[in-house]
Chains A and B, each alone.
Chain A
Amino acid sequence: MSMERTLNHHTTRRKVKVLVAKIGLDGHDRGAKVIARALRDAGFEVVYTGLRQTVEQVVAAAIQEDVDIIGVNQHEGSHIYIARKLVEKLREYGADDIPVVMGGSIPVVDVDVLKSIGVKEVFLPGTPIREIVDKLMKLAEERRRTGRV
């Protein structure tokens, strides 16, 4: 049955659309690219905005693309500052229904801090791709059920 639905393109739902972003001066995008690729292979539509973006640029892209999720990858230690600014900007633009997830070199002790700021999921190094895909899928479904522009 599920097979039939995926084959029948007239009734298939829109694919999950994710924005993968790197914010600030962090120049390490290997991880972001691996994630982008893995999500593509899992059937997601991935918008990659490239290196050294500002929070404003990422929020603008998320709004124009009408993405289901924003995924931020950070490796240089500014994840708390960036998470705070990002969540703030999303609220300012009335786009805080778009869930934010984070990944990269993030110390375990910061996970709760990030979640208290409003980050929905934090993926630490070594998280299996499968787990990321499942959690993103769930977040996207939840937003589509409840979120309305």
Chain B
Amino acid sequence: MATKDYVLSLVERAERGDRRALGRLLTILEDVSSETAWVLEYLAGRSRGAHVIGVTGIPGSGKSSLISRMIRVLRDKGYRVAVITIDPTSPLSSGAILGDRLRMQEHATDPGVFIRSVTTAGALGGLSLSALAMIEAFDALGYDKVIVETVGVGQSETHVMHAADTIVVVTMPGAGDDVQALKAGVLEIGDIYVVNKSDKPEASKTYEYMLFVAEKGEIGRSGAWKPVVVKTSSTLGMGIRELVEAVEKHLEYLRNSGEKLSRLSSRRRLLVKLLAEKIVLDLLDKVAEEELAKTHEGLEGFYKRAIEIARTTGEKLLNLKIQ
């Protein structure tokens, strides 16, 4: 469907500022297959060293509004900004409502801002692969800051976060004083911690608590960087400049320490691994489908049949040549 010439023309048009072409290119990257994998290599080869900022945190902590505020400050500094927002698909219905964008619509017509929403189900090739592919596209097209927003639950989103240069973890008053919640999962990998909604009561308490665990070194990625805690209020526009300064300072740290390069190479390693997984899975699917077609209908002996299919599929896969 997506021929090489067509995809190349999309990249070329996107480079000239054609936003329709970029929108379509991102759609193709939502479902990278072995036929389109070359696009990733092409884009990665044109990387311009974008600063990838992951923003994560519990639902309702105000991530989208905060990002919208950050965009304004980043634009004032002259940066071109891309945003990838990831919304979970309802497990009950297969559809999804993408509402993050709503909070950032004031930037929709700004030619220096590009916002794209993805659902966990819409990312057919696996969420991490789609998001990583989109990061490569924005990087190649010269966006200075690529912000990735996730709700921060689930393995694939942790993956995405690990691909970021700078991780911002957002919490809010009344939600951050639970040690257990902080210690588990994505919340412990931040470089910058934000206590949003600081116009609310108990904000100082949450802030003090975050400061305490940050100083103790209980949270934050390893390295010489000491996690920074910032108090913000998206509603009042408070603390946004401080937050952006902290993000910039972290980038400076990454550059000076040489970690920026190692972050890029770990992002690329992850991309290669996920792509390999996708290609193997696609092949596996194809062969398994063929094997399934050979089996008889009926429920009896399905376990035995599953083992049989797994065995023959594996054998066939080993004999397949990947071009």
Is B282 engaged at the interface, CB distance under 8 Å to the other chain?
A: yes
User: Chain A: interface residue count, which band?
Assistant: 35 or more
Q: How far is the CA of A64 from the CA of B117 in the complex (A)?
A: 9
Given known A15-B94, A15-B95, contact A60–B282 (CB-CB < 8 A): no
B20 pairs with A45, CB closer than 8 A: no
Let me know if B101 and A49 touch, CB within 8 A.
yes
Interface residues of B in 105-147 (CB under 8 A from A): 105, 108-109, 114-117, 119, 121-122, 124
Contact: A66 with B108, CB < 8 Å? no
User: B24-32, B55-63, B197-205: which one contacts chain A?
Assistant: B24-32
A-contact bits for B78-121, CB 8 A (1 contact / 0 none): 00000000000010011111110110010011000011110101
Tell me which of B24, B102, B114, B121 contacts A49 (CB under 8 A). Answer: B102
Verify if A46 is at the interface (C-beta below 8 Å from B).
yes
Residues of B in contact (CB 8 Å), total 36
A45–B102 CB distance below 8 A: no
Q: Are A14 and B122 in contact (CB under 8 A)?
A: yes
Query: What's the least CB distance linking A6 to chain B, in Å?
Result: 8
Whether A47 is near chain B, meaning CB under 8 Å from some CB there, is yes
- A61 to B10 alpha-carbon distance, docked (Å): 18
Asked if B314 CB lies within 8 Å of chain A CBs, one says no
Q: A40 to B93, Cβ gap below 8 A?
A: yes
For chain B, what secondary structure do more than half of its interface residues adopt (helix, strand, loop), or is it mixed? Answer: mixed
In the complex, which of the residues B97, B102, B109, B116 contacts A65, with contact meaning CB atoms closer than 8 Å? Answer: B116
Is A63 a contact partner of B98 (Cβ separation < 8 A)?
no
Chain A window 43-58, contacts with chain B (Cβ cutoff 8 Å), 1 for yes, 0 for no = 1111111100110110
Q: Is A85 an interface residue (CB 8 A)?
A: no
Question: In the complex, what residues of B have CB within 8 A of residue A45's CB?
Answer: 95-96, 98, 119, 121-122
Min CB distance B151 to A, Å, is 17
Alpha-carbon separation in the docked complex, A56 to B19 (Å): 14
Nearest chain-A residue to B92 (Cβ)?
A41
Q: In residues 16-72 of chain A, which contact B (Cβ within 8 Å)?
A: 17, 36-37, 39-50, 53-54, 56-57, 60-61, 63-66
A14 near B98: Cβ-Cβ < 8 Å = no
Q: Are B105 and A65 in contact (CB under 8 A)?
A: no
CB distance from B83 to the nearest CB of A (A): 10
Residues of B within 8 A of A (CB): 10, 19-24, 26-27, 30-31, 90, 93-99, 101-102, 105, 108-109, 114-117, 119, 121-122, 124, 281-282, 285, 289
Q: List 16 A-B contacts (CB under 8 A).
A: A6-B94, A10-B281, A11-B285, A14-B31, A42-B93, A43-B93, A43-B94, A45-B98, A45-B122, A49-B102, A60-B108, A64-B22, A64-B23, A64-B116, A65-B98, A95-B20
Chain A residues proximal to chain B, CB less than 8 Å: 6, 8-12, 14-15, 17, 36-37, 39-50, 53-54, 56-57, 60-61, 63-66, 93-95, 149
Q: Which 8 A-B pairs have the closest CB atoms?
A: A40-B95, A66-B23, A50-B102, A149-B24, A60-B108, A43-B94, A57-B108, A47-B98
